[in-house]
């Protein structure tokens, strides 16, 4: 006799159950989001951008000094190459998650040409859908519950919340004084149990525009080896610098590839923010870990964009340099105007932001976010808090 249940055959041993004459009132459906979502505050730029778009739809003339979102176009030869590549039907299928080979080779060429760094395009470079995506997924590759990352303060939101989304914890250290930052890294590693697992650095710093010299990264490598830290350097403003300053690459420090990776982007200097082209380069094991995560999340960027990015890297260095000159002239106008208004500001050496204290009397009356919202609501000027 079979024990297999047959829904068409009644179970004679089971008691009879009266069917209700009417269905019960259904309970109100509830969406229960994961706890990781509850750990996230409203996205800072989201609040400001929502109000900015509302005001513009209402006809207000809003000056947008908020996100570091380039207002100039890419070099025309890059746009033309994108058009040509998009017309090729062979470029419309899935691409490689880690980026096409020639693009990774071009990144390696730029590193060697500009920083004297030799990279293996097969194992030490991976293309990302913007450096923000790559950074977030690198956190997933390196961190888990109970792991701690040291991050810069003030911080670009993804530096904090990329770690949190990976179930990690953060210790935020002030970046204004690079030597003090390094001293605090050592102190944290000596006194926190378990020791931090990841060190996140970001120079030129977003948003404070703090900068460092090359020997800073020599000390970062020394600390990383001493305390077993894996290093992630966010080098988003590698191509935006002023007054002759050349931001150093973390990977140019001896031994850097032993302990960490560096993220770069084509958003800022190349005016390709919406194209979402970024790169991770450095330690082969970390790059491989990122590639494993990305393999489950995406199929890489549109191949026509990758082909155009090759042209941008290979042929538009002069355009990138001119773009920095444009940003420098805008910086000078803004700093001069704020100083005339009595603001205490210094001209940054790099990046897309002028970092300024909230002036009195507002400084003692409200938070930086409230001040930013007030400027937008009352003055039609959007800034980054």
Which stretches of 74-208 are DSSP H helices? 76-86, 101-115, 131-142, 157-165, 178-191
Kindly list the distances between the CA atom of residue 343 and the CA atoms of 8, 189, 326, 329, in Å, as whole numbers in the listed order.
Answer: 82, 38, 23, 19
pLDDT average, residue stretch 137-161: 95
Residue 40, pLDDT score: 85
Given pLDDT bands bounded at 50, 70 and 90, which one contains residue 284? very high
**Cis peptide bond prior to 296, omega within 30° of 0:** no
Rounded CA Rg of the chain: 25
Nearest by Cα to 163 from 195, 138, 187, 193: 138
Count CA within 13 A, CB hemisphere, residue 299.
6
Q: How many CA atoms lie within 13 A of 235 on its CB side?
A: 25
pLDDT tens-place string over residues 308-367: 999 999 999 999 999 999 999 999 999 999 999 999 899 999 999 999 888 888 888 889
Q: For residue 48, what pLDDT band results from cuts at 50, 70 and 90?
A: confident
Q: Tell me what pLDDT residue 350 has.
A: 97
Mean of per-residue pLDDT scores for the chain: 92
Q: What CA–CA distance (Å, rounded) separates 275 from 82?
A: 10
pLDDT for position 250: 98
What is the structure's pLDDT at 13? 59
On whether the CB atoms of residues 107 and 130 are closer than 8 A, the answer is no
**Reduced to 3 states, what is the DSSP secondary structure of residue 135?**
helix
Dihedral of the CA atoms 358, 362, 368, 371 (nearest 10)? -110
Structural tokens at position 28: 């109100």
**Region for residue 196 given its phi and psi (left: phi exceeds 0; alpha: psi -120 to 50; beta: otherwise):** beta
Distance CA 137, CA 294 (A): 7
Give the integer Cα–Cα distance in Å for 136 and 127.
14
pLDDT band at 9 (very low <50, low <70, confident <90, very high): low
Interval 131-150 mean pLDDT = 97
pLDDT > 60? residue 7: no
Token pair belonging to 83: 């058009």
List residues bridging with 381 in a β-sheet: 63
Distance CA 139, CA 161 (A): 10
DSSP H stretches of helix in the chain: 35-38, 44-57, 76-86, 101-115, 131-142, 157-165, 178-191, 215-227, 256-259, 284-297, 303-315, 317-340, 368-379
Distance CA 343, CA 335 (A): 9
Q: Per the structure block, which two tokens stand in for 34?
A: 């994961």
Whether residue 11 is predicted with pLDDT greater than 80 in this model: the reply is: no
The two tokens of residue 257 are 């590839």
Q: Contact at 8 Å (CB) between 236 and 264?
A: yes
Rounded to whole angstroms, the Cα distance separating 114 from 262 reads 15
**Is the bond preceding residue 16 a cis peptide, omega within 30 degrees?**
no
pLDDT digits (tens, 9 = 90+) for 351-373: 999 998 888 888 888 898 899 99
What is residue 321's three-state secondary structure? Answer: helix
- For the chain, domains (ranges, CATH) are 35-73+318-383 (3.90.1150.10), 76-316 (3.40.640.10)
């Amino acid at each position: 006799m079979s024990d297999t249940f047959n829904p068409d055959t009644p179970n004679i041993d089971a008691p009879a159950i009266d069917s209700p004459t009417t269905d019960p009132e259904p309970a109100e459906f509830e969406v229960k989001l994961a706890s990781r979502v509850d750990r996230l505050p409203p996205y800072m730029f989201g609040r400001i951008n929502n109000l900015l778009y509302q005001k513009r739809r209402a006809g207000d003339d809003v000056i947008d000094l908020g996100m570091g979102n380039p207002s100039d176009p890419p070099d025309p030869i890059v746009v033309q190459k994108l058009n040509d590549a998009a017309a090729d039907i062979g470029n419309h299928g899935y691409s490689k998650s880690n980026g096409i080979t020639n693009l990774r080779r071009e990144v390696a060429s730029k590193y060697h040409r500009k920083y004297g760094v030799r990279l293996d395009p097969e194992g030490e470079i991976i293309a990302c859908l913007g450096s923000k995506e790559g950074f977030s997924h690198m956190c997933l590759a390196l961190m888990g519950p109970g792991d701690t990352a040291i991050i810069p303060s003030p911080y670009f939101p993804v530096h904090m919340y990329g770690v949190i989304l990976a179930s990690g914890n953060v210790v935020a250290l002030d970046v204004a004084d690079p030597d003090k930052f390094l001293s605090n890294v050592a102190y944290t590693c000596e006194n926190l149990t378990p020791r931090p697992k990841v060190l996140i650095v970001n120079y030129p710093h977003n948003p404070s525009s703090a900068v460092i010299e090359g020997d800073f990264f020599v000390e970062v490598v020394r600390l990383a080896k001493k305390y077993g830290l894996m290093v992630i350097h966010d080098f988003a403003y590698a191509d935006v610098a002023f007054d002759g300053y050349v931001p150093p690459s973390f990977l140019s420090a001896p031994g850097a590839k032993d302990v960490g990776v560096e993220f770069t982007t084509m958003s800022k200097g190349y005016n390709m923010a919406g194209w979402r082209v970024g790169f991770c380069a450095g330690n082969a094991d970390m790059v491989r870990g990122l590639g494993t995560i990305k393999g489950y999340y995406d199929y890489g960027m549109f191949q026509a964009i990758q082909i155009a990015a090759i042209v941008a890297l290979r042929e538009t260095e002069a355009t990138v340099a001119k773009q920095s000159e444009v940003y420098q002239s805008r910086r000078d106008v803004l700093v001069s105007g704020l100083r005339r208004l009595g603001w205490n500001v210094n001209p940054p050496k790099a990046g897309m932001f002028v970092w300024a204290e909230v002036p009195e009397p507002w400084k003692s009356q409200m938070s930086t976010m409230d001040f930013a919202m007030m400027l937008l609501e009352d003055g039609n000027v959007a800034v980054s808090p």
